[in-house]
Structure 1
Amino acid sequence: MAGETVITVVGNLTADPELRYTQNGLPVANFTIASTPRTFDRQANEWKDGDALFLRASVWREFAEHVAGSLTKGMRVIATGRLRQRSYQDKEGATRTSIELEVDEVGPSLRYATAQVTRAARSDAGAGGGNFQGGGGGSRPQQASNEPWSTPGSSGSSSADAWSTPGSFGDDTPF
């Protein structure tokens, strides 16, 4: 959307994502990303840590369940989303302001680790009532074309599912 502040943060989770449910049964996962800049001090010939940024983040619906089931404390992650500012009153009645990240996409960083991706099972619940297909940290609307993420036989598509049969596309990546 126009006018929103979109950022990407790379850092480590300070704790396991906390999965909760609203009164309406909507899942939400909250977590904190610690991002610490490192610079090389040539005089001391060593790496030095800068001041850490601790950024609270949240994800909703099926995405929240994927995050809570996949990410754990200490993991290095890459998250992109929109900054949100909110004000609240603390116990003493003073007005406080916090800035949080409403996450659009998040995943493990593969700089110092490897990951095995498993496609999430299809779910129509919690995706706003539309015909959505879960997977890879978010929901993607069904397309009425031969795109590789559409389900075989759905929307008139007869293409094979790129995720269900590894190697079936040879060197021609369907993306």
Structure 2
Amino acid sequence: MAGDTIITVVGNLTADPELRYTPNGFAVANFTIASTPRTFDRQANEWKDGEALFLRASVWREHAENVAATLTKGQRVIAQGKLKQRSYESREGEKRTAFELDVDEIGPALRYSTAQVTRSSAGGGGGAVGGGQQRQPQQQSQPVQQQRPQAEEPWGGQQSGGGGGYGSGGWAAPGAGPSGGFDDEPPF
């Protein structure tokens, strides 16, 4: 929406995402991202950590289920979304303000690790569920796993894993789309 403050945060998860369901059956995952700035101190000739920013974040529906199944405590992530401000009164009657991130996109940061991405079986590529439909929790979602990569061919095919190139990695082989035609997804 116009006027929303969109930010990107890179940091580490302070705990595993907490997955809950609303009374209407919608999934929501809540978690905290700790982002610590680092600066180089030329006099001491070393890197120094600044003050950490702890930002609460939430993500909804199937996206929440994928996040809860994939991301874990300590993992470095990149998250983008709308920054929201919420005012409330504490139990002691003090007025407080909290900032939260309504996540649009999130994934593991790949600067210091690798990941193998697997599409969820219910993945619709488009995002939100239309027409007021509710999506039931998906158990088939497979998490992103951080691991050392095996020898790979272009577009995710592994040399040791049977098939290659187009035949693996979640991409359809040419001519093997759902209706026998080509898949609309590119091989990269």
Q: TM-score, normalised by structure 2?
A: 0.70
Which residue is equivalent to 2:95? 95
Q: Secondary structure at the match of 2:119?
A: coil
Q: How many residues align?
A: 149
Gapped regions of structure 1 (runs ≥ 5): 138-147, 163-172
> Separation in 2 of the partners of 1:136 and 1:114?
16
**In 1, Cα distance between the equivalents of 2:13 and 2:105?**
15
| Counterpart position of 1:127 | 129
Comparing both structures, which one devotes a greater share of its residues to strand? 1
Q: Aligned pair in 2 of structure 1 residues 47, 123: CA closer, same or farther (>3 Å)?
A: closer
Contiguous gaps of at least 5 residues in structure 2: 144-170
CA displacement, residues 102-160 of structure 1 (integer Å, 9 cap, x when unaligned):
00000000000000101001268x824479xx9999xxxxxxxxxx99x9457xx9322
Distance in 2 separating the partners of 1:76 and 1:82: 20
Deviations 1:69-114 (A, max 9, x none): 0000000000000001112221112222111000000000000000
CA contact (8 A) 1:39 1:49 kept: yes
Q: CA RMSD in A?
A: 3.0
Q: Which residue of 2 is the match for residue 35 of structure 1? A: 35
Deviates more, 1:114-123 or 1:30-39: 114-123
Does residue 1:15 correspond to 2:38, yes or no? no
Counterparts of 2:130 and 2:37, CA distance in 1: 38
Match of 1:140 in 2: none
- Name the residue aligned to 2:114: 114
Q: In structure 2, how many angstroms separate the alpha carbons of the residues matched to 1:69 and 1:129?
A: 26
Asked whether the 8 Å contact 1:62–1:127 carries over to 2, the reply is: no
The residue aligned with 2:183 is 160
Task: Write the distance in 2 (CA, Å) between the matches of 1:70 and 1:57.
Answer: 16
User: Which residue of structure 1 aligns with residue 59 of structure 2?
Assistant: 59
Cα deviations by residue, 1:40-59 (Å, 9 ceiling, x for unpaired): 11110111000111000000
SS in 2 for 1:67: helix
Whether 1:45 aligns to 2:45 is yes
Shift of 1:34: 0.4
| Residue identity matched to 2:3 | G
Contact preservation (8 Å) 2:37, 2:49: yes
Letter of the structure 2 residue corresponding to residue 45 of structure 1: N
CA distance in 1, matches of 2:92, 2:103: 30
DSSP 3-state at the match of 1:39: strand
